[in-house]
């Protein structure tokens, strides 16, 4: 058991010999336990240097070793769901000496990446996609007569999503030769919730680990049938077994390779295994800030602004319900969940259900607030249209992490302006600071119809009290000459120095939809150039909305759109990612000067 993050590289003589899984398969079985300890120690060290997810990786150390030992990877294909459990996999597949580049430019991706390694069979940054992908791979292999095994490792949190069960149903219908490994640790990021989590928990509490007789490491069932849900779906069920006993894992994997058709191996593991603080507090140890940053001052974040607002609002308005898809802590809802448990719903990794549940609550007269990350709102696009917007229901969306993020393209929230503004009846607000955000949340909660407040990850800028939020009205911050900057959201901050240096007009637009068209008309008449700035894709974004209005009205002015280009931006520090796309004050100034 490790009790602290090492600050110097540990001694790992066995691990240092593994540059490829074929090297791993040269070890004797009795060496694998020692390898597991070295791998766990090295993982703690490397994530301490880079930051990143590590609780999930610690929990699959033995499983990762067993899979690469038992299967002939990469000919046999492993798909991991979700990808934040794959750091041990990366270390064993030739990337050990590059782990220090994790989440850095031109370094290792924080999730599986097909472009990074042939061992990363399928990219899995979001959860619950693995079984669908694996079935497609298995069917393609069968079509060309390719002989290989396809294995999925899916966490029990990811199994709560409907997509996983849609795929299980199809696997059984195809009678595909596919092994699904259920990594049952009662955790996704937060504690798992719901009927499926309770089903697993009941079975865990009713069994004890039997280390005495034959079948060492298998769990003894007591009046339970934990696999019935999967056998009824058409899977050959094995388990539950100890996911930290390598000998038991190898025994079961070897046996299952000889069994054709759909198979499910149920493992019991512990998130954060082998690191005492993570075992004690798996939620807070889901991810780690790199050691050199852990002593930095923590300021109020936009998530905390939202959390404080919703808790205060719920105390005075009993209509308010909060819904989140497995993001209670990250969305700032911990205090709300404790004070108002009957009006708090963590629906697990089920974004589609979260949105339609909110639609039902609104239909019943409640005022639901859906707290969701921008990148995950993408998964509920149809429900946003079909269940909320078409019926014009009173649902407010608090959309967090709407910005470039260090985890790269799978998690950066830079498309929500584009896909939400296309939907009739939607109101889209983007606060420039914490004070305006609170006003927008108040406005959105009282607004009749669906609306969205969109904010980035990070420290909430403390702005001065300005004019109150009114539907579709912008705030003019500065009068200038020749050009007017139309800043959306927190891009107002970087625009202020540009406007000062170049003596330009600066407007905090506040609303992406509806736009302040009256002000845009005035600005176009008094300026040669309108410059839109947003931390969202330029394609279809807020700037595009301004362009559409200017063209539709035949206004006589030039337009310059600044935002995220038509590219996926690789992982890096968010400040560096903004530099890459030209979202710095210096870059903006150069672009405006060039156009003028």
Pairwise CA distance, residues 85 & 112, whole Å:
9
C-alpha dihedral, 532 to 537 to 540 to 543, nearest 10°: 0
Name the catalytic one among 38, 62, 351, 438.
351
Name the catalytic one among 313, 379, 401, 510.
379
Pairwise CA distance, residues 50 & 323, whole Å:
32
Identify the residue whose tokens are 């759109």.
Answer: 561
How many other C-beta atoms can be found within 10 angstroms of the C-beta atom of residue 549?
16
Pairing of strands 52-53, 287-288: antiparallel
Angle at the Cα of 564 from the Cα atoms of 330 and 494, rounded to 5 degrees: 80
Q: Is 207 a catalytic residue?
A: no
Strands (E), 424-514: 427-429, 451-454, 475-478, 483-487, 505-508, 511-513
Strand partners for 292: none
Angle at the Cα of 416 from the Cα atoms of 165 and 578, rounded to 5 degrees: 115
C-alpha dihedral, 390 to 392 to 394 to 400, nearest 10°: 50
Name the catalytic one among 207, 263, 271, 578.
271
CB 479 within 8 A of CB 519: no
Q: Which of 124, 136, 129, 151 is nearest to 53 (CA)?
A: 124
User: How distant, in Å, are the alpha carbons of 62, 80, 124, 133, 411 from that of 152?
Assistant: 16, 6, 11, 9, 22
Q: Is 271 a catalytic residue?
A: yes
Q: Which residues are identified as catalytic?
A: 271, 351, 379
């Amino acid at each position: 058991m490790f009790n602290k993050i090492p600050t110097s590289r540990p001694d790992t003589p066995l691990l240092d010999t593994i540059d490829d899984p074929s090297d791993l398969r040269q070890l004797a079985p009795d060496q694998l336990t020692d390898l597991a300890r070295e791998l766990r120690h090295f993982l703690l060290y490397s994530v301490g240097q880079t930051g990143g997810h590590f609780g999930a990786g610690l929990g699959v150390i033995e499983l990762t070793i067993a899979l690469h030992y038992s299967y002939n990877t990469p000919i046999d294909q492993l798909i991991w769901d979700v990808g934040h459990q794959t750091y041990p996999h990366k270390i064993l597949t030739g990337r050990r000496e590059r782990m220090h580049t994790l989440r850095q430019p031109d370094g290792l991706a924080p999730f599986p990446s097909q472009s990074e390694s042939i061992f990363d069979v399928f990219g899995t940054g979001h959860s619950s996609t693995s079984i669908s992908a694996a079935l497609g791979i298995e069917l393609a292999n069968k079509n060309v007569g390719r002989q290989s095994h396809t294995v999925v490792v899916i966490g029990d949190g990811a199994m709560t999503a409907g997509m996983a069960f849609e795929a299980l149903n199809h696997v059984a219908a195809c009678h595909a030769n596919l092994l699904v490994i259920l990594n049952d640790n009662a955790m996704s990021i937060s504690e798992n919730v719901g009927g499926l989590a309770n089903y697993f928990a009941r079975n865990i509490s009713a069994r004890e680990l039997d280390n005495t007789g034959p079948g060492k490491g298998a769990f003894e069932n007591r009046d339970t049938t934990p696999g019935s849900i999967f056998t009824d779906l058409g899977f050959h069920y094995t388990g539950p077994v100890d996911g930290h006993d390598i000998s038991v894992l190898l025994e079961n994997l070897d046996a299952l390779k000889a069994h054709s058709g759909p198979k499910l191996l149920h493992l019991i593991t512990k998130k954060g295994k082998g690191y005492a603080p993570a075992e004690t507090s798996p939620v807070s140890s889901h991810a780690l800030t790199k050691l050199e940053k852990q002593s930095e001052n923590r300021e109020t974040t936009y998530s905390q602004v939202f959390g404080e607002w919703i808790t205060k609002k719920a105390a005075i308005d009993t209509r308010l319900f909060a819904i989140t898809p497995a993001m209670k802590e990250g969305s700032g809802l911990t205090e709300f969940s404790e004070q108002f448990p009957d009006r708090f719903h963590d629906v697990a990794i089920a974004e589609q259900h979260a949105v339609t549940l909110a639609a039902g609550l609104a239909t019943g007269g409640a005022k639901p607030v859906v707290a969701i990350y921008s990148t995950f709102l993408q998964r509920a696009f149809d429900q946003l249209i079909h269940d909320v917007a078409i019926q014009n229901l009173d649902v407010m969306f608090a959309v967090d992490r709407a910005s470039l993020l260090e985890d790269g393209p799978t998690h950066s929230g830079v498309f929500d302006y584009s896909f939400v503004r296309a939907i009739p009846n939607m109101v889209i607000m983007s606060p420039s600071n914490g004070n305006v955000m609170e006003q927008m949340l108040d406005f959105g909660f009282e607004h009749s119809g669906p609306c969205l407040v969109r904010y980035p990850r990070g420290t909430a800028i403390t702005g001065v009290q300005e004019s109150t939020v009114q539907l579709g009205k912008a705030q003019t911050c500065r009068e200038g000459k020749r050009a007017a900057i139309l800043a959306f959201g927190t891009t107002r901050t970087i625009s202020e120095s540009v406007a000062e240096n170049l003596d330009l007009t600066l407007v905090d637009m506040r609303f992406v939809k509806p736009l302040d068209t009256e002000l845009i008309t005035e600005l176009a008449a008094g300026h040669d150039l309108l410059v839109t700035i947003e931390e969202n894709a330029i394609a279809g974004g807020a700037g595009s909305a301004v362009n559409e209005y200017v063209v539709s009205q035949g206004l006589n002015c030039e337009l310059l759109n600044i935002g995220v280009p038509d590219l996926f931006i690789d992982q890096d520090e968010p400040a560096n990612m903004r530099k890459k796309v030209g979202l710095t004050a210096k870059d903006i100034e150069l672009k405006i000067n060039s156009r003028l």
